[in-house]
Amino acid sequence: MIAIVDLGIGNLASVRKALGGTVTSDPYEMERAEKLVLPGVGNFGAVVERLEPLRGVILDAINDGKPFLGICLGLQLLFEGSEESPGSEGLGVFRGRVVRFRGVRTPHIGWNQLWKRKECPLFEGIRDGAYFYFVHSYYAVPEEGDIVAGVTDYGSGGRRVVFTSAVCRENVYAVQFHPEKSGRNGLLVMRNFRGL
């Protein structure tokens, strides 16, 4: 069973439809699940507050080797903290911070390309430079370069930002884009995660 973590924000129906699984906020169901998915939208600090009662269950699942997928803010929550909410601690699975786009229009909304930086099972069967759908104003800056699975180039002319758009290490995978809104490529990412 795949448990999709319900923090009471965002529309999880499209994630459930694309991935299957059970939408839940019940720690017992998460403990029983074979895989965990953390979708997220909204303010980093507000989501961290809602996440707090489940922090231990999520970290235990990751430490036990269960496949874990973070989506959008779910990727950002894997890091130590965010400029958006100073003082709010992320899960700290990866070292690094989340920062706001500067010098480019925000939020970054729409289709953009993902350029692979290393092999990652999520992207099996997906060509380098494939398009995915993004909606965000912040992005992760990992301190550990070896976790970066994909990057995306955003902006125009001389005002461009190349940011980390996918990470993976061992059983932990996360994407800044919304696979559930990314058509065929997104469905393939979800299918690849299901097959882990």
Identify the domain containing residue 146 by its residue range. Answer: 2-195
Q: Is 73 helix (H, G, I), strand (E, B) or coil?
A: helix
Contacts of 147 (CB under 8 A, 6+ apart): 94, 167, 168, 169
DSSP 8-state code for residue 34: S
Task: Report the predicted TM-score, pTM, of the whole model to 2 decimal places.
Answer: 0.97
Residue ranges of alpha helices (H) inside the chain are 13-19, 27-32, 44-51, 55-63, 73-76, 183-194
Q: Tens digits of per-residue pLDDT, 117-147? A: 999 999 999 999 999 999 999 999 999 999 9
How many other CB atoms are there within 10 angstroms of residue 177's CB atom? Answer: 27
What is the rounded (10 degree) CA torsion for 196, 126, 100, 56? 0
- What CATH number should be reported for the domain holding residue 185? 3.40.50.880
Q: Tens digits of per-residue pLDDT, 146-190? A: 999 999 999 988 899 999 999 999 999 999 999 999 999 999 999
How many domains, the chain? Answer: 1
Active-site residue numbers? Answer: 72, 178, 180
